[in-house]
């Protein structure tokens, strides 16, 4: 099951050529991840935040433009002991054209002791609901 959020491209998110600036894609997927994590029960309170990013990447497939309506789709591709990986697809909301895709590795982190720690069972169960099953991936 994928998590989706809508995004409308603002003028300030484009470059001199009128295309979506490459940095904007990272902002879109960060918003999608933050909403996704909150809905999974990781919380919204920054004082109790337990997730850090270990890596993030994005492949730019097609050009996106000012005022375009996009959908950012997020799924879980891998779950480890203290970490998990999510994959993102950014598509045109009307045509379904793939604009960009990316992934991020997240770690359940204890800021007090500055170390990773095992994912709580409740969070793991929520992540598993969004885990891509072999053969059911949506576009790659």
Residue at 17 is within a domain? yes
Q: Is residue 136 part of a domain?
A: no
Res 136 pLDDT > 70: no
Do the beta carbons of residue 66 and residue 18 sit within 8 Å?
yes
- Total domains present in the chain: 1
Judge whether 94 lies within some domain: yes
**140 inside domain:** no
- Percent of the chain at pLDDT exceeding 70: 95
Q: What is the CATH number of the domain that holds 23?
A: 3.10.129.10
Cα angle for residues 64, 138, 33 (degrees, 5° grid): 65
Question: Is residue 139, in this structure, part of any structural domain at all?
Answer: no
Q: Is the pLDDT of residue 139 over 70?
A: no
Beta bridge partner(s), residue 83: 107
Query: pTM of the prediction?
Result: 0.89
Which residue range forms the structural domain that includes residue 85?
Answer: 3-129
- pLDDT class of 105 with cuts at 50, 70, 90: very high
Dump the DSSP string for the chain: --EEEEEE--GGGB-TTSBBPHHHHHHHHHHHHHHHHIIIII-S-GGG--EEEEEEEEEE-S--BTT-EEEEEEEEEEE-SSEEEEEEEEEETTT--EEEEEEEEEEEEETTTTEE-PPPHHHHHHHHHTBPPTT--S--
> What is the per-residue pLDDT across 46-95, written as a single tens digit (0 to 9) for each?
777 889 999 999 999 999 999 999 999 999 999 999 999 999 999 999 99
Tell whether 59 is covered by a domain: yes
Q: Does 134 fall in a domain? A: no
> Percent of the chain scored above 90 by pLDDT?
81
Say whether pLDDT at 137 is over 60.
no
Q: 127: exposed, middle or buried (C-beta count within 10 Å: 0-12, 13-18, 19+)?
A: buried
Tell me the backbone φ, ψ of residue 82, rounded to 5 degrees: -120, 0
CA distance 106 to 124: 13
């Amino acid at each position: 099951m994928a998590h989706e959020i809508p995004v409308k491209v603002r003028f300030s998110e484009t470059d001199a050529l009128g295309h979506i600036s490459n940095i904007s894609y990272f902002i879109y997927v960060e918003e999608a991840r933050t909403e996704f994590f909150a809905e999974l029960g990781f919380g919204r309170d920054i004082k109790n935040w337990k997730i850090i990013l270990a890596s993030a990447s994005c492949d730019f497939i097609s050009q996106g433009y000012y005022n375009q309506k996009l959908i950012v789709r997020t799924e879980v591709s891998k779950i480890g002991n203290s970490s998990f990986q999510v994959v993102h697809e950014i598509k045109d909301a009307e045509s379904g054209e793939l604009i960009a895709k990316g992934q991020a590795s997240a770690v359940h982190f204890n800021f007090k002791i500055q170390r990773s720690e095992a994912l709580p069972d409740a969070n793991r169960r929520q992540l598993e609901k969004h885990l891509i099953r072999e053969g059911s991936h949506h576009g790659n």
